[in-house]
Amino acid sequence: MQYVIIDLEATCWKNVMDFTKMEIIEIGAVKLAGDTLEVLGEFSCFVRPVVNPLLSDFCKELTSIRQQDVDAAEIFKVVFPRLLAWIGEDDYKIVTWGNYDIKQFEIDCRRHGIELPEKFITQHINLKKEFAESKQCRPCGMKRALRLLDIPLTGTHHRGIDDARNIARIGQELLK
């Protein structure tokens, strides 16, 4: 069994939280061995949005993703099967920080006429919830969780692959 830690970045606007208008613009993932929790590999890919192809200034500032990054990327319908191929056929559990990523996958899969694998729902671990329960604290952001574990944040916050790496480090502590 493997853990697949996934973090998504999506189109966004200041003071607007309409998930139906948001589209995935980056998928970052880290695969951990189920027994040793060692990193087995990484997946990182930009995704070109189709409904709102121009990134807002807010989105570019928050994520540090540039317009040319998404303009040069493939659309979700092409990228998502590549993610699934990278995950492979071995038994796995999807791990995210909160439920947002799974909901966004559902929206983007529906938008592009792709079936979301059932395992993304049935074999999903909400590490944010697990962290709060294990530390007996209120649910918090990834940065705060790292601080509470005395793990330094690495990379750029709100970049899919960097956040996936940081969440994986939290997972290595919690999933022991």
Give me 25's structure tokens.
């613009």
Q: Which residues are catalytic?
A: 9, 158
